[in-house]
Amino acid sequence: MTKSHLFPEDIERLMGKDAQRNNILAAKMVSEIVKTTLGPRGMDKMLVSPSNDIIVTNDGVTILTEMQIEHPAAKMMVEIAKTQEKEVGDGTTSAVMIAGKLLENAEKLLDQKIHPTVIVKGYQMAQAKAQEILKENALEITPDNEEILKQIAMTAMTGKGAENSKETFANIVVEAVRMVREEKSVDMEDIKIEKSLGEGVEDSELIKGIVMDKERISKDMPKIVENAKIALVDFPLELKNLDIDTKISLTSPDQLQDFLSREEEMIREMVDKVVSTGANVIFCQKGVDDFARYLLARVGIYTCRRVSRNDMEKISKATGARIISNLNELSLHDLGDAQVVEEVKKGNDAFTYIRGCKNPKAVTILIHGGTTHVIDEIERAIMDGLGDVISTINTGLIVAGGGAIEIEVARKLREYSQTINGRERLAVEEFANALEFIPITLAENAGLDPIDILTELKAKHNIGERNYGLNLFTNKIENVLGSRILEPYKVKAQAINSATEVANMILRIDDVIASKPNKKGNMNFAGARPDYLDNLE
Ligand code: ADP
Ligand code: MG
């Protein structure tokens, strides 16, 4: 370790080769961690938090965020997983693996005394070319092609918790997207995921409306309302709080009584007003007090209180109700419609179902399952499926999975590298090698011989069979378009793009200056802890 006297004692510094090697090592370690989860035969990881909470997952981004990684370069790797998750919702493991391999291969070039800036330049050239090749090899599909969309969802969910019911879930995912889609744009926010413990995974369902974990506020209210007319109010239905809101001087008990009756009168008016519009259901974002509750129950209005803003907005989209902030505005037109509003108890949980909405612009996927671990992992699988279906609709482009597209891009990149004269050519070749890490790992995780598989795949692609990939249902190398192993183009484009970005960013670093925590345990800057340097050695 190189100490610098420029800095105070508590600053640690790694320079030049040390800094590079240390960062590359950390990035490789991150990629090694997630590697075994890749693909349908990937294994799961069990993560145990300090408070003994357990997560069992196969999802790259979940593993990395839960691990609370400290090393700054490793953290940058975690960031690509997060970006990938945010941008497309799937492909997080692949993105991290490609980045790790790009860095590992860069190390080989560094060993040959190739300057990092040359590698960075070569990687940039390769990434630009790879994007072109990806586009050329993508197939167009329309949002109406629901069979293909289902296949995309199934490929995304293969090997995850949802594996056994992936057909059910693929149908649910595609149907949900169809309902909320406007032309080619789909907002993930319009699809709510609600989880219910108990019953089997197969009982999971798509609700044409919203399900929320709220119960009606009084047993005297109806448990089920048909032909619901729903009012959404975001003001409280309660007496003003005497302590906070009002300063009045009361000199006699009569005055107090008088004051309270006036307040009660106001509540009565509020409730009458809502009833007069014809509403038979009220969802209130704020509180509803005992008196209002009593009045509402008496007229048989199903009421929930303290509904989250998020749910209010979703109910508005699903039922067409307008969220009202001022009672004077409320009219029949502001009410939303649903066939049924109903309270359903499941074990200890109570839900309100708003179902049978005519043309809902927001829907709910209700996941059932025996344990929270199962439900959570299914939720992650569904999020992958949703992300993939949505990004397919957005771009209208798909590619062949099972490593087919990676092999093809690598092959074309090697052709391209032949046209480059400088040493960047070597970097372009290493970029191609890095992409092959995906099919290699798919094979490895399934217990197949990666060298055999890679050789066979390359041979097929060399004779123009560009959609040949590894089908892990049959363990055969075949045209995977035919076997419907399909992935969105966007997942691959984003993974390659952000993997290159982070690899290049890490390669450009030749100086790490990290401050030790000071005596109070505070970080001096950047939150970087020098301990990581020791941990890696
Ligand atoms: P990621 O987080 O990168 O999406 P996954 O564990 O979901 O990681 O694995 C995705 C990879 O698995 C993709 O390369 C995809 O083509 C591949 N894959 C999915 N289903 C199959 C299959 N039946 N046969 C072979 N490969 C598959
Ligand atoms: Mg995936």
**Any ligand 1 atom below 6 A from CB of 294:** no
Instruction: Please check whether residues 325 and 457 belong to one and the same domain.
Output: no
Cα gap 526→15, rounded to integer Å = 18
pLDDT value of position 14 = 81
Q: Which of these, 516, 505, 504, 527, lies nearest to 127 by C-alpha position?
A: 504
Residue 179 covered by a domain: no
| pLDDT cut 90: percent of the chain above it | 63
What's the pLDDT tens digit per position in 174-211?
Answer: 999 999 998 888 888 899 999 988 888 888 999 999 99
HEC string for 27-43? HHHHHHHHHCCCCCCCC
| C-alpha 505 – ligand 2 centre gap (Å) | 25
User: Which stretch of DSSP H or E encloses residue 343?
Assistant: strand 336-346
Task: Say which amino acid occupies 39.
Answer: G
pLDDT value of position 254 = 77
Instruction: Please check whether residues 224 and 131 belong to one and the same domain.
Output: no
Mean pLDDT of the region 210-219: 95
Q: How, if at all, do strands 397-400 and 139-140 pair?
A: antiparallel
Instruction: Please check whether residues 222 and 351 belong to one and the same domain.
Output: yes
pLDDT value of position 162 = 73
**Any ligand 1 atom below 6 A from CB of 42:** yes
Instruction: Please check whether residues 215 and 355 belong to one and the same domain.
Output: yes
Q: Give catalytic status of residue 44 as yes or no.
A: no
**Any ligand 1 atom below 6 A from CB of 473:** yes
| C-alpha 191 – ligand 2 centre gap (Å) | 19
Mean pLDDT of the region 456-470: 97
Q: Which of these, 68, 65, 66, 78, lies nearest to 31 by C-alpha position?
A: 78
Residue 151 covered by a domain: no
* Ligand located closest to 35 CA: 1
Residue that terminates a domain, selected from 308, 331, 359: 359
What's the pLDDT tens digit per position in 376-386?
Answer: 989 999 999 99
Instruction: Please check whether residues 34 and 99 belong to one and the same domain.
Output: yes
Q: Give catalytic status of residue 510 as yes or no.
A: no
Q: Which of these, 368, 529, 380, 373, lies nearest to 48 by C-alpha position?
A: 373
User: Which stretch of DSSP H or E encloses residue 338?
Assistant: strand 336-346
Best mutation site among 134, 151, 155, 479 for ligand 1 pocket (most ligand atoms within 8 Å of CB): 155
Task: Give the CA angle between residues 283, 329, 277 to the nearest 5°.
Answer: 60
| C-alpha 131 – ligand 2 centre gap (Å) | 20
Residue that terminates a domain, selected from 329, 344, 359: 359
Task: Give the CA angle between residues 379, 144, 365 to the nearest 5°.
Answer: 20
Q: Give catalytic status of residue 384 as yes or no.
A: yes
pLDDT value of position 68 = 83
* Residue 282 falls in which region: left (phi positive, over 0), alpha (psi -120 to 50) or beta: beta
* Residue 408 pLDDT greater than 70, yes or no: yes
| Number of alpha carbons in the 13 Å side-chain half-sphere of residue 212 | 23
Residue 292 covered by a domain: yes
Active site residue: 92, 155, 364, 500, which one?
A: 92
Instruction: Please check whether residues 217 and 111 belong to one and the same domain.
Output: no
Phi, psi for residue 458 in degrees, rounded to 5: -65, -40
Task: Say which amino acid occupies 168.
Answer: T
Instruction: Please check whether residues 405 and 344 belong to one and the same domain.
Output: no
Instruction: Please check whether residues 404 and 351 belong to one and the same domain.
Output: no
Q: Which atom of ligand 1 is nearest to the CA of 94?
A: 3
Q: Which atom of ligand 1 is nearest to the CA of 158?
A: 20
Q: Give catalytic status of residue 311 as yes or no.
A: no
Residue 315 covered by a domain: yes
CATH number of the domain encompassing residue 282? 3.50.7.10
* Residue 53 pLDDT greater than 60, yes or no: yes
Instruction: Please check whether residues 503 and 431 belong to one and the same domain.
Output: yes
User: Which stretch of DSSP H or E encloses residue 366?
Assistant: strand 363-369
Please tell me which residue, 519 or 138, carries the higher pLDDT value: 138
Average pLDDT over all residues of the chain? 88
Instruction: Please check whether residues 347 and 445 belong to one and the same domain.
Output: no
**Any ligand 1 atom below 6 A from CB of 151:** no
Residue that terminates a domain, selected from 305, 327, 359: 359
**Any ligand 1 atom below 6 A from CB of 445:** no
Cα gap 121→73, rounded to integer Å = 20
Residue 497 covered by a domain: yes
Mean pLDDT of the region 482-497: 95
Domain count, the chain: 2
Residue 392 covered by a domain: no
Q: Which atom of ligand 1 is nearest to the CA of 470?
A: 25
Please give all residues whose CB falls under 5 A of ion ligand 2, grouped by chain where several chains appear.
90, 384
| C-alpha 93 – ligand 1 centre gap (Å) | 9
pLDDT value of position 516 = 67
Nearest CA, atom 12, ligand 1: 39
Instruction: Please check whether residues 128 and 256 belong to one and the same domain.
Output: no
pLDDT value of position 261 = 80
pTM of structure: 0.84
Best mutation site among 442, 489, 496 for ligand 1 pocket (most ligand atoms within 8 Å of CB): 442
Instruction: Please check whether residues 218 and 131 belong to one and the same domain.
Output: no
CA quadruple 146, 152, 156, 161: dihedral positive or negative?
positive
Residue 12: CB partners within 8 Å, gap ≥ 6? 1, 3, 513, 514, 515, 516, 530, 533
Q: How, if at all, do strands 281-284 and 302-304 pair?
A: parallel
Cα gap 445→210, rounded to integer Å = 40
Best mutation site among 31, 35, 37, 38 for ligand 1 pocket (most ligand atoms within 8 Å of CB): 38
| pLDDT cut 70: percent of the chain above it | 93
CATH number of the domain encompassing residue 430? 1.10.560.10
Cα gap 325→234, rounded to integer Å = 5
* Ligand located closest to 383 CA: 2
pLDDT value of position 524 = 36
User: In this structure, what is the dihedral angle of CA atoms 458, 463, 465, 469, given to the nearest 10 degrees?
Assistant: -10
Active site residue: 384, 388, 392, 395, which one?
A: 384
* Residue 535 pLDDT greater than 50, yes or no: no
* Residue 5 pLDDT greater than 90, yes or no: no
Q: Which atom of ligand 1 is nearest to the CA of 469?
A: 25
Joined tokens for residue 119: 């590698």
Contact status, residue 314 vs residue 239, Cβ threshold 8 Å: no
Q: Which atom of ligand 1 is nearest to the CA of 402?
A: 26
Domain extent, residue 426, equals 12-140+399-535
Residue 381 covered by a domain: no
Residue 355 covered by a domain: yes
pLDDT value of position 11 = 75
